[in-house]
Amino acid sequence: MELDLETIQTIKEKAVEFLFDFGPNILGALIVFFIGKYIISLLLKAVDKIFVKYEIDASLATFLKSFSKAILYVLLFITIATQIGIELTSFIAILGAAGLAVGLALQGSLANFAGGVLILIFKPFKVGDTLEAQGTLGSVESIDILYTKIRNFDNKLVTIPNGALANNLTTNHSEKPTRRVDISVGVAYGTDLKKTRQVILSTLKRDERIHADPEPVVKFTNFGDSSLDLTVRCWTDTGDLWPVYWDNMEALKEAFEANDIEIPFPQRDVNHFYPEGKKE
């Protein structure tokens, strides 16, 4: 359907009228947005410097920065709305009327926000801790207002809602200064266990990272299918846990070989029965 000249002229007049009525407000709103965004970035940088200067806890710092950023952008949004021409009282009334619906729609987000507050108050973990939660094990990278970011040891970033962390089981591997190292070894049947125990303890004693108190222990724990199973337990600083485990696994292998202690492999006895009357 083609437009006649009169209709086109009417559209042009309406467009010009709209530009004169709302154009300055829209232009002003755009200017306010970009200036406000720039000011917010400056304020957040200043907040970062304050946190560093006063050595604010990293967990609290990331949370407060996320919260401050959200508040500042809400204020910027209100300022832009008033610049366009929406009266503040009317805007607040509309915002209040929509608040209930928004609150119902964002129940999960509100629960995550509350979870973040609980995490900061009770401190079950902090930034930098090694945390095991929701099937994830890694280092806590940040605690934001709604989510906590955990970086796995294979460098994958996992984002977990704060509500899930606050209301479910979490294991903090970094909270205590010392950790117990558990090593399982097996020796062949017929091996002298007293000699084996002495070899293991003397090997552990050479590692200065292993604590003398509580002292290492070696216990016989199981009659395996092909081996006598021993459990070795010792204590070390939390940061040395895995290096101590890996280094002593190799050291124990070398000590067993040097002392003729056999490390067994799975064995099976196979008996062949001939049918009746068949000669061997």
DSSP 17: H
For residue 121, what is the domain's CATH number?
Answer: 2.30.30.60
pLDDT band at 1; cut points 50, 70, 90? very low
Which sign, positive or negative, has the C-alpha torsion 31, 34, 37, 42? Answer: negative
Q: Rounded CA gap, 120 and 162, in Å? A: 11
For residue 184, the surrounding DSSP H or E stretch is strand 178-187
pLDDT band at 36; cut points 50, 70, 90? confident
Overall average pLDDT of the 221-242 stretch = 94
**Which pair of structure tokens corresponds to residue 263?**
């490390």
Report the candidate in 69, 78, 77 with the shortest Cα–Cα distance to residue 41.
69
Q: Rounded CA gap, 162 and 116, in Å? A: 5
Report the candidate in 217, 203, 220 with the shortest Cα–Cα distance to residue 259.
203
- On whether both 187 and 208 belong to a single domain, the answer is yes
Q: What is the pLDDT of residues 127-162, one digit of tens each?
A: 999 999 999 999 999 998 889 999 999 999 999 999
For residue 91, what is the domain's CATH number?
Answer: 1.10.287.1260
Q: What is the pLDDT of residues 82-120, one digit of tens each?
A: 777 666 666 666 666 555 555 555 567 778 888 888 898
- On whether both 153 and 188 belong to a single domain, the answer is no
Above 70 in pLDDT, residue 14? Answer: no
Q: Any residues with CB less than 8 A from the CB of 56 and at least 6 apart, and which?
A: 50, 64
Residue 191 is predicted with a pLDDT of 94
Instruction: Give the total number of structural domains in the chain.
Output: 3
Surface-to-core class of residue 160, CB atoms within 10 Å of its CB (0-12 exposed, 13-18 middle, 19+ buried): buried
Which residue segment(s) compose the domain that 16 sits in? Answer: 8-105
Q: What is the pLDDT of residues 176-209, one digit of tens each?
A: 999 999 999 999 999 999 999 999 999 999 999 9
For residue 208, what is the domain's CATH number?
Answer: 3.30.70.100
Residue 185 is predicted with a pLDDT of 95
- On whether both 131 and 158 belong to a single domain, the answer is yes
pLDDT band at 169; cut points 50, 70, 90? very high
Overall average pLDDT of the 223-230 stretch = 92
Domain presence at residue 136: yes
Q: Which of 152, 172, 192 is the last residue of a domain?
A: 172
Domain presence at residue 215: yes
Q: Which of 54, 76, 105 is the last residue of a domain?
A: 105
What is the side-by-side strand order in the sheet with 178-187?
A: 178-187, 228-237, 217-223
pTM of the model: 0.63
Question: Which SS3 state, helix, strand or coil, does residue 154 take?
Answer: coil
